[in-house]
């Protein structure tokens, strides 16, 4: 590739979906704006690969340059701001606040949740340090002044991918895809919803429930969501498919890389199977996870992305590059396999004593029937996203949890308030 991997998502069209990740951290006390601004600009020194701005190369391609301007820390406004704009000092990230809430906005081109959360945690650690004059014990948080982890700023390359024969081939299925929901969510203002809900669980309750059931946190929420849709979808929908993103970088030898170049796991459930007990469904789901995270299966998905990015490099002119991405976008097109729903889990994030100052934290993204699962000391949070109004999906999800006897706290709806990019043009 001619340019950094962190640039290629920028060619995608944001007319329908914004490509800026938003992380909402709710503190236990109202935020002090001046201290927060100072803390955020101390924290960014730990992440030089995020301290950048977008420019254009000689062929019109997007390239990244160092940006020494302060990171913008601004009060929340009614209208979403734009990443890369003058208002946020050209940065691909910025921070907002409102009461006890802190909103961390970062371009999805720079990273996904696994790259964003460490940056968020460093910011909150530094804020707690500065605000309360304490040094919280948090060995899992990356601190300003500490060196980068091995491979943290390393980007994957084509040479890292395996050439092993694929050990597993999925059986072709025709799953339910929520086409009408998406159409209403994108084009019908009377039915469109720009909100999300948050579920909070005791981590010990969830782990106690999973004990002996051959399941994981990710597969558990995958099964719960599938069971909830089984309650409300028509019988004619024979297959309900779960989808999940998989970070392949540990297998590439760069587990700490901030980049976001993922493979996708698909778990198909025939309707009668969703009447099985949780243990049997957990085993089935984990089996799909294991098979599809094998490098021989997951790496070909990444190889397609490298091929696409190389093709974009061969095109001259920004307009032409963007048009090519629109025609070959890896997340759209007739050959792309979509899930009925999506469940993503970033894994256990270790906040240490910083967790004592935090009420909750969740990822906010664009999507329909999309669940983002995050965890910290003692708590698991699920942000539940849908594009249309109404509570039938939320209610069905709650009914499954109630039947399982799992306690939870539900809050919302909250506005998504997602930002878009303001990028250089021709």
Q: Where is 222: in which H helix or E strand?
A: helix 217-230
Cβ proximity of 353 and 137 under 8 Å: yes
Cβ proximity of 416 and 212 under 8 Å: no
Q: What is the pLDDT averaged over residues 52-61? A: 95
pLDDT digits (tens, 9 = 90+) for 27-40: 999 999 999 999 99
Q: What is the pLDDT averaged over residues 318-341? A: 88
Q: Which two tokens mark 310?
A: 């190389």
Peptide bond preceding 413 in cis form (omega within 30 of 0): yes
**What pLDDT is stored for residue 426 in this prediction?**
65
Q: Which of 426, 319, 337, 367 is nearest to 22 (CA)?
A: 367
Q: What is the pLDDT averaged over residues 142-160? A: 96
Q: What percent of the chain shows pLDDT beyond 70? A: 100
Domain 167-354+364-413 in the same topology as domain 5-132:
yes
**What pLDDT is stored for residue 211 in this prediction?**
87
For domain 5-132, the CATH class is alpha beta
Between residues 67 and 17, the one the model is more confident about: 67
Burial of 138 (0-12, 13-18, 19+ CB in 10 A): buried
> Phi, psi (5° rounding) for residue 396?
-65, -40
Q: Which two tokens mark 73?
A: 């820390």
pLDDT band at 283 (very low <50, low <70, confident <90, very high): very high
**What pLDDT is stored for residue 425 in this prediction?**
82
In this predicted structure, the answer to whether residue 333 has a pLDDT above a threshold of 80 is: no
Q: What is the pTM of this model?
A: 0.96
Q: Which CATH superfamily is domain 167-354+364-413 in?
A: Chloramphenicol acetyltransferase-like domain (3.30.559.10)
Q: Rounded mean pLDDT of the chain?
A: 95
Q: How many whole angstroms separate alpha carbon 332 and alpha carbon 338?
A: 9
Q: Where are the domains of the chain?
A: 5-132, 167-354+364-413
């Amino acid at each position: 590739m001619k340019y950094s991997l962190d640039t290629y998502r920028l060619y995608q069209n944001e007319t329908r979906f914004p490509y800026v990740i938003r992380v909402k951290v709710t503190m236990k006390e109202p935020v002090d704006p001046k201290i927060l601004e100072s803390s955020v600009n101390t924290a960014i020194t730990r992440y030089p690969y995020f301290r950048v701005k977008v420019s254009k190369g000689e062929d019109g391609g997007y390239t990244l340059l160092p940006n020494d301007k302060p990171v913008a820390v601004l009060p929340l406004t009614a209208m979403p701001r734009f990443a890369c704009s003058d208002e946020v000092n050209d940065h691909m990230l910025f921070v907002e606040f409102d009461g006890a809430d802190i909103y961390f906005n970062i371009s999805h081109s720079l990273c996904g949740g696994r790259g964003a959360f460490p940056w968020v945690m460093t910011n909150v650690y530094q804020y707690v340090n500065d605000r309360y004059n304490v040094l919280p014990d948090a060995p899992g948080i990356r601190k300003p002044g500490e060196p980068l982890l091995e491979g943290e700023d390393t980007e994957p390359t084509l040479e890292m991918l395996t050439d092993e024969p694929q050990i597993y081939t999925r059986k072709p299925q025709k799953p339910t895809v929520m086409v009408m929901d998406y159409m209403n969510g994108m084009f019908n203002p009377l039915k469109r919803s720009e909100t999300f809900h948050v579920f909070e669980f005791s981590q010990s309750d969830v782990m106690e429930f999973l004990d002996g059931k051959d399941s994981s946190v990710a597969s558990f929420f995958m099964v719960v969501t599938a069971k909830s849709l089984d309650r409300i979808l028509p019988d004619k929908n024979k297959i309900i498919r779960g989808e999940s993103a998989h970070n392949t970088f540990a297998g590439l030898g760069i587990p700490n890389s901030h980049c976001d170049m993922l493979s996708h796991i698909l778990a198909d459930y025939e309707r009668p199977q969703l009447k099985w007990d949780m243990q049997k469904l957990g085993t089935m789901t984990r089996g799909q996870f294991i098979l599809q995270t094998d490098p021989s299966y997951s790496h070909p998905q990444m190889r397609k992305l490298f091929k696409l990015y190389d093709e974009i490099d061969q095109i001259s002119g920004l307009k032409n590059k963007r048009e090519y991405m629109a025609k070959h976008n890896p997340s759209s097109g007739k050959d792309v396999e979509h899930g009925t729903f999506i469940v993503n889990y970033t894994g256990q994030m270790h906040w240490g004593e910083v967790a004592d100052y935090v009420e909750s934290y969740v990822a906010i993204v664009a999507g329909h029937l999309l669940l983002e699962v995050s965890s910290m000391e003692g708590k698991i949070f699920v942000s539940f996203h849908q594009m249309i109004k109404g509570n039938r999906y939320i209610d069905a999800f709650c009914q499954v949890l109630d039947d399982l006897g799992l306690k939870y706290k539900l809050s919302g709806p909250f506005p998504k308030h997602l930002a878009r990019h303001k990028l250089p043009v021709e």
